[in-house]
Chains A and B, each alone.
Chain A
Amino acid sequence: DAKTTQPTSMDCAEGRAANLPCNHSTISGNEYVYWYRQIHSQGPQYIIHGLKNNETNEMASLIITEDRKSSTLILPHATLRDTAVYYCIVRVRTNAGKSTFGDGTTLTVKP
């Protein structure tokens, strides 16, 4: 699995968009980008994933650069409940979907 680099922490004002970057410059052509988050020591929760195209679901949007070396997770209108650790994971969709979790980005949404 490709290595990822994320900022240790970020702040965001409530109601504003939160943009969380992830660098994965060694990503291979068959590796997907996944995002999970972990709220206050609960089990991680899946957010979104993508291969090449930008993706959007009810939780967030994922923007992947054309060269696929980096991506950004966007929470369009952050709330206090979005305060969590966000993990960017890059891996192939092999027979075992085991993920390598780094240390993630701690996002703090402030009133």
Chain B
Amino acid sequence: NAGVTQTPKFRILKIGQSMTLQCAQDMNHNYMYWYRQDPGMGLKLIYYSVGAGITDKGEVPNGYNVSRSTTEDFPLRLELAAPSQTSVYFCASSSFDPGQDTDTQYFGPGTRLTVL
């Protein structure tokens, strides 16, 4: 299993540009998440999804959009990039089963985004 993969690894955007951060998982997890991490800080939840076709806002959703058309993929869209969106973006997935004693989150390697 590749686990959680993210592309690209690095990206520099100009103010006002748009881009999509890609995230894919091959563990058949039903839950997927997007976090951002600013320098020296903890992770903040942007959006999450509990299954294909279902998404919801996290703590800091403004300026971002998501979609979940398949179990495997959960892309994050930045429509009008701003310097405040300079951050490292982590995608994660997990599988919640009430009968199991674990809902461990597995994280991707991150995308480092700079907006100038």
Contact = CB atoms under 8 A, between A and B. Distances in A.
Contacts of B110: 41-43
Contact of A102 (B42, B50, B90): B42
Interface string B97-116: 00000111111111000000
Nearest to B45: A98
Given A42-B110, A43-B90, A99 B31 contact: no
Interface residues of B, number: 29
A44 B58 contact: no
A103 B44 CA distance: 10
Chain A at the B interface: SS class: loop
Contact of A100 (B45, B94, B108): B45
Contact of A98 (B58, B102, B104, B107): B58
Contact of A43 (B4, B56, B58, B96): B4
Nearest to B47: A98
B92 interface: yes
